[in-house]
Amino acid sequence: MLTLRPPTHEAPALEPEVVVREARRRQRRRWILRALALCLAGGLVAGVVLATGSPPPPAAPHARGSGQQPGSSVASSVSHHVSVPFGSSADCPTAPIGPTFPASPNGTFASCLRVGSLAAGTYHVVVTGYPTAPRYTERSRLAPPKTRVHLTIRPTRGGPGTRVTVEATLATPRRTTTTYGVICWDGCEGGPQYTTAKHWTSPTTFVEHFRVPAAPWVIASRVKNYRIAPLASGNYQVGVDCIVVSKGCGATEGSAVFHLVVPRSARRHLCTSPTPSTCVYLQLRRGSALPGQAVRVRGFAPFTSNLIGLEVVPGEAKGPAVALRREPKGGFSLRYGQADLVVRPAPTFSSLGRLTVLGEQSDGSTPVSLNPAAPSRIAWCGQGVVGLTDSTGAALGSVSTAGVASAISDAGIGYGLYPETARCDDVALPSAGPALFAAFSVAITPTRTVGAYIPLETTDGGGSWTLVPPPPGAHVTGFGGFHYQDGRVVALYTTPAQTAARGGDAAKVTLPIAETFDTATSTWAASSLQCPKGKPCTTFGSAPPGNCAMNGTVQWLLISTDAGKGWRAPTWPSNVDGCTSSSLVATGPSSELLVNSSSSYPMLRSTDGGKHWSDVALPTPPFTVGGLGPDVTILPDGAVLAIKAGEPVDWVLLRPERTRWCAVSSVPASVRTSVGMSSLDLFGTALWWVSGARSSTQPAALEHVDVSGIRC
């Protein structure tokens, strides 16, 4: 049988040398593929390690002057460090909340440093770790009483960075429950400590949380020595102190054991030496900056506590990278790393030339008020009355406040006037009609330690007073001041959540709720903030109540970039201290000054409607109280008037284009002394204020001085 088969193609015969070359070529291909596979696997492992917070050590940073990247500043050299990204910009989107910020459990940090109002020159930045003060106390510690604290933790074992829940049980309830507590890692005598928030679940039990260190940590001792404990597997004590004993505490009052399991990949972490000088890394994104600018900072430091700080120190970085420093109020701190920073000179006040003042808006309450649409009448908060004068200071009559206390009592608000006198704190006049508005401080806590301004109105010359009705979404205790918009009286309120959040940037920025008084109908209607005509669209928000002697209060700075449709706080500064004097001074359609007597930046300038602010260097005044003093005012000719209360009372003047303050001698001493701690208001060509304390024994009086008479 015939079978048909396809033709076969034989490969040509190769010489032995060719066969060898082909074999070697194939072997090289296999080697290359194997190497690529290993690289890919290594990259995956590195990605997993980075995700867990324990990256492999990269190359060492350049030492100073050895070819580091432009704009960077490195002053502490280490053998290797953890890579922390700067971000895409040299500037910071936000500024740090305060001088301290949370530390990462893995020792890395990336933050923003706001350069202070410093003179031009060479400085260096240091990172500060804060060991708990009792571990360094010179006096002997008090032994804890027999009452112990039983501690339970979960989980009881885990890797670096594990979040641990601590449950504490006291044998007997404490008289007062504290909000914050201290958790010790590796012993309360010398190990790092965490400041944590307590959640009390009963009079004898509370819960706290912390994360196990994911980096080497500092161990300190009473003899003021310190060393670095490596990140290693083992059993470590988790303790609490300052629970039963509050004064002289420092010994462990309760503890539990956590078993730390450190993976092999994390054991190559830096700081294997007990000497901290080999474990510090600090770098700035830029090597020079102006006062007020924010600079990105990154680095690594051994874990000391869950809070670290940044400081700017005069002079070049010298000496060891790590130093133990005694604090002025007791205890010690550790300085980690140094990075040079050159502070460039800020524009001076004299360089601004002669300014044109278009208007001035003050923060806080206004005990002296003039409606721009009706400048013939001025209202002021007197003792038992609201006084009325004309623009020359001549009396036009008064409105009795005798019925205020009963009106507030009948409304069931608070615990009575604070103090027990019907002297108003804020006053406003409509452009027309008999109405008058005034706000009075009322205690809103049983201990009478916190007050709120309660707004009332009268239309019959003080014969009867009624509450100003709050707008929807607000409460009467959230009143935050009277404003004027195009001659109309506007009342601002805070939301309940904003009213409860007092003291610094920790409060969440929320827009005020506004309502406007209609003179035609004598009624209030919900409204919104508006931009002033011909001036920057910048204003102060409402002033929430608070206690200036305790936690203080803040008043937000608000700007609009769409003609008043939307409002927000600028990145910096976002607010001013509500317990001191501040003012916004418009000098052009988009330029203005922010004068803040209590700030470390007494004068800031914006040329873009409040979106960005820069420091203006003022010459040093002959006195210093806080920033410049209780009150700083920009006069119509652009001169700066600073007033210091106390003994003696000082008035000093800084004229435009001048570089020195001069003492005001043209105003009589009795008039200068009457200012006291009062705030000043500029109406037309005169400064106005209310003299006299709030006590009923010292009567109040309205004082004024023409600005043309303020001379040196």
Of the CA atoms within 13 Å of residue 178, those in its CB half-sphere come to: 13
Whether 258 and 318 share a structural domain: no
Q: What is the CA radius of gyration of the chain?
A: 33
Whether 325 and 252 share a structural domain: no
Given 233, 248, 266, the domain boundary residue is 266
The 3-state DSSP class for residue 701 equals strand
Assign 274 a pLDDT band (cuts: 50, 70, 90).
low
pLDDT at 710: 94
- The closest alpha carbon to 482, from 405, 523, 425, 525, belongs to 425
Whether 229 and 337 share a structural domain: no
Q: Is the pLDDT of residue 344 over 80?
A: yes
CATH number at residue 201: 2.60.40.1930
Cα–Cα distance for residue pair 505/95, rounded to 1 Å:
10
The 3-state DSSP class for residue 31 equals helix
Q: Is the pLDDT of residue 101 over 50?
A: yes
Inside any domain, residue 354: no
> If you search the block for the tokens 């003047």, which residue do you land on?
653
Range of the domain at 618: 591-605+613-712
Assign 669 a pLDDT band (cuts: 50, 70, 90).
confident
Inside any domain, residue 488: no
Whether 167 and 257 share a structural domain: yes
98 vs 285 pLDDT, higher one: 285
Is the CB of residue 177 less than 8 Å from the CB of residue 214?
no
Q: Is the pLDDT of residue 39 over 90?
A: no
Whether 654 and 693 share a structural domain: yes
Whether 170 and 242 share a structural domain: yes
pLDDT tens, position by position, 608-631: 999 999 999 988 877 764 444 557
Inside any domain, residue 168: yes
Inside any domain, residue 631: yes
At 416, the amino acid letter reads G
- Mean pLDDT for 628-642 is 82
Inside any domain, residue 233: yes
112 vs 169 pLDDT, higher one: 169
- The closest alpha carbon to 123, from 343, 346, 345, belongs to 343
Pick the range with the lowest mean pLDDT from 135-139, 258-262, 291-295.
135-139
pLDDT at 497: 47
Question: Of the spans 135-139, 506-510, 678-682, 683-687, which averages the highest pLDDT?
Answer: 683-687
Is 369 buried (19+), middle (13-18) or exposed (0-12) by CB count in 10 A? buried
Assign 242 a pLDDT band (cuts: 50, 70, 90).
confident
Whether 146 and 219 share a structural domain: yes
Whether 77 and 95 share a structural domain: yes
pLDDT at 269: 52
CA distances from 347 to 117, 290, 393, 611 (A): 11, 9, 39, 18
142 vs 329 pLDDT, higher one: 329
pLDDT tens, position by position, 213-236: 988 888 876 555 677 888 889 999
203 vs 437 pLDDT, higher one: 437
Given 313, 343, 373, the domain boundary residue is 343
Cα–Cα distance for residue pair 183/242, rounded to 1 Å:
10
pLDDT at 485: 92
Inside any domain, residue 104: yes
Whether 701 and 634 share a structural domain: yes
690 vs 333 pLDDT, higher one: 690
pLDDT at 320: 74
Cα–Cα distance for residue pair 237/226, rounded to 1 Å:
18
Number of domains the chain is built from? 3
DSSP for 604-659 reads EEESSTTSS-EE-B-PPPS--SSSS-SEEEE-TTS-EEEEE-SSS-EEEEE-TT-S
pLDDT at 536: 95
61 vs 666 pLDDT, higher one: 666
Q: Which two tokens stand for residue 135?
A: 């571990």
Inside any domain, residue 407: no
259 vs 37 pLDDT, higher one: 259
Q: Which two tokens stand for residue 183?
A: 């958790």
Give phi and psi for 33, each to the nearest 5. Answer: -65, -40
Cα–Cα distance for residue pair 61/69, rounded to 1 Å:
10
Q: Which residues pair with 91 in a beta bridge?
A: none
pLDDT tens, position by position, 416-463: 887 666 789 899 999 999 999 999 989 888 877 778 899 999 999 999
pLDDT tens, position by position, 114-169: 898 899 999 999 888 876 544 433 333 444 444 478 999 999 999 999 999 999 99
pLDDT at 113: 86
- The closest alpha carbon to 368, from 334, 391, 402, 345, belongs to 391
614 vs 101 pLDDT, higher one: 614
Whether 177 and 112 share a structural domain: no
Q: Which residues contact 47 (CB under 8 A, 6 or more apart)?
A: none
Assign 265 a pLDDT band (cuts: 50, 70, 90).
confident
DSSP letter for 461, please.
T
Instruction: State whether the Cα torsion 475-477-480-484 is positive or negative.
Output: positive
Assign 600 a pLDDT band (cuts: 50, 70, 90).
confident
Inside any domain, residue 109: yes
Pick the range with the lowest mean pLDDT from 39-48, 245-254, 295-304, 557-566.
39-48
The overall average pLDDT reported for the chain is 77
Cα–Cα distance for residue pair 488/484, rounded to 1 Å:
5
Whether 128 and 275 share a structural domain: yes
Given 327, 343, 359, the domain boundary residue is 343
Whether 294 and 224 share a structural domain: no
Give phi and psi for 446, each to the nearest 5. Answer: -60, -30
Assign 85 a pLDDT band (cuts: 50, 70, 90).
low
